[in-house]
């Protein structure tokens, strides 16, 4: 683990006991829970910046889901989306994420 990642992990909410697997789960409900945890984290933006800079392939970083190297706002479960879910964006725009990091 590189030094910057270790520093973020030591200060992030993801460092709480038993949460590591939640941030790297394949279940959409687990990933959504990890995003809720990120929402209240003091190092969320720095974590997202690190993930973007280092090109992380998997996991929830700074409240964004990285799946196969692509950023997503959320992951859908199997089956037809609910009416509310069908109107929300799924994929995140890398340019918009970089702008968020730069302006934070």
Instruction: Determine which of 13-17, 61-65, 69-73, 100-104 has the lowest per-residue pLDDT on average.
Output: 100-104
pLDDT at 93 over 70: yes
**What's the confidence (pLDDT) of residue 18?**
72
Question: How does pLDDT run across 34-90, given as a tens digit for each residue?
Answer: 999 998 888 899 999 999 999 999 999 999 999 888 888 766 555 555 565 545 445
**DSSP character string of the chain:** --HHHHHHHHHSGGGSTT-GGGGG-S-HHHHHHHHHHHHT-TTHHHHHHHHHHHT--SEEETTEEEETTEEES----SSPPPHHHHHS--BPPHHHHHHHHHH-
**What's the confidence (pLDDT) of residue 9?**
62
**What's the confidence (pLDDT) of residue 52?**
92
**What's the confidence (pLDDT) of residue 102?**
73
pLDDT at 97 over 70: yes
């Amino acid at each position: 683990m590189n030094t910057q990642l270790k520093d973020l992990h030591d200060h992030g909410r993801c460092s709480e006991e038993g949460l590591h697997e939640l941030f790297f789960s394949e279940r959409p409900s687990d990933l959504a829970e990890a995003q809720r945890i990120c929402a209240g984290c003091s190092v969320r933006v720095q974590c997202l910046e690190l993930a973007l800079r280092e090109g992380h392939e998997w996991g929830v970083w700074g409240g964004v889901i990285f799946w196969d190297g692509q950023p997503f706002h959320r992951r859908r479960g199997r089956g037809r989306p609910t009416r509310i879910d069908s109107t929300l964006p799924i994929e995140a725009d890398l340019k918009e994420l970089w702008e968020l990091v730069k302006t934070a």
